[in-house]
């Protein structure tokens, strides 16, 4: 099967079974971007508690968080796990925002995607997946996000080797799919939902998986 057909069929199968995902949660581009950092290697339930704390204390704006001492930030985001490290990462991101766009997310959005991607990758604590998630979900740029689930699912279905690199995995999707932020967003969200339910670490292929027919 042609790669484009294969991917679009996978997408369609997941969407038919699961419905659309309504991602990514957050009221503003800034909230989404910080949410992405807080959700690193953490389930969204825990990350959302940290987001709630910040909103509840009326701290969730870039200038306010920039002025907040890092130790205080760390305490507020404790439920997200890795809280000291994430406080540091959010602070690095805020410093980036201040110099790059004076905390103006619309100004940031006006920059070209690849330029922006390189800049984000330079920020300490913002790796490839966080960069692509911020680009896609916060800044409306068509940058495909791949993650551990994506790798596992494609590997289980014999489409990718087990230790495929992040760039390889991302290019697999980006070369084939048209750059459409709605498809990119939904595709990634669906892969995570499928991964959580049907593609756990210590489990084989499951017949009830929406992707069960896509074993090559």
Partner DNA sequence: GACCAGGCACATC
Partner DNA sequence: GATGTGCATGGT
Considering the rule CB under 7 A, would residue 187 count as an interface residue with DNA?
Answer: no
Contact 216, 157 (CB under 8 A): yes
Candidate list 67, 95, 200, 205; residue touching DNA; CB under 7 A: 200
Candidate list 133, 154, 194, 209; residue touching DNA; CB under 7 A: 133
Candidate list 10, 33, 39, 62; residue touching DNA; CB under 7 A: 39
Task: Give the per-residue contact string, 89-118, with DNA (x = CB under 7 A; - = no).
Answer: ------------------------------
| 3-state secondary structure (DSSP) of residue 36 | helix
User: Which residues in 42-71 contact DNA (CB under 7 A)?
Assistant: 42-46, 49
Considering the rule CB under 7 A, would residue 185 count as an interface residue with DNA?
Answer: no
Give the largest CA-CA distance in the chain. Answer: 55
- DSSP calls for 119-176: HHHHSTT--HHHHHHIIIIIT--------HHHHHHHHHTTSS-TT--HHHHHHHHHHH
Shortest approach of DNA to residue 130 CB, angstroms? 3
CA distances 163 to 71, 113, 152, Å, are 37, 27, 9
Contact 144, 181 (CB under 8 A): no
Shortest approach of DNA to residue 183 CB, angstroms? 16
Residues that bind DNA (CB under 7 A): 23-25, 35-36, 39-46, 49, 78-86, 123-131, 133, 137, 147-149, 163, 165-166, 192, 195-196, 200-202
């Amino acid at each position: 099967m042609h790669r484009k057909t294969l991917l679009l069929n996978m997408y369609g199968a997941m969407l038919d079974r699961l419905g659309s995902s309504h991602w990514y949660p957050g009221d503003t581009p800034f909230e989404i971007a910080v949410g992405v950092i807080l959700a690193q290697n953490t389930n969204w339930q825990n990350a959302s508690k940290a987001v709630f704390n910040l909103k509840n204390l009326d701290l969730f704006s870039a200038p306010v968080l920039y002025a907040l001492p890092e130790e205080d930030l760390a305490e507020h985001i404790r439920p997200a796990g890795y809280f000291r490290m994430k406080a540091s990462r959010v602070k690095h991101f805020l410093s980036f925002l201040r110099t790059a766009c004076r905390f103006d997310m619309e100004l940031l959005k006006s920059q070209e995607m690849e330029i922006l991607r390189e800049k984000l990758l330079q920020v300490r604590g913002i790796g490839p997946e966080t960069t692509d998630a911020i680009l896609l979900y916060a800044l409306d740029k068509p940058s495909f996000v791949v993650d551990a689930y994506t790798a596992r699912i494609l590997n289980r279905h014999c489409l990718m080797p087990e230790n495929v690199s992040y760039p390889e995995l991302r290019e697999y999707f980006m070369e084939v799919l048209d750059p459409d932020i709605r498809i990119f967003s939904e595709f990634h969200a669906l892969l995570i939902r499928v991964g959580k339910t049907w593609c756990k670490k210590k489990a084989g292929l499951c017949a009830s998986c929406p992707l069960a027919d896509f074993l090559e």
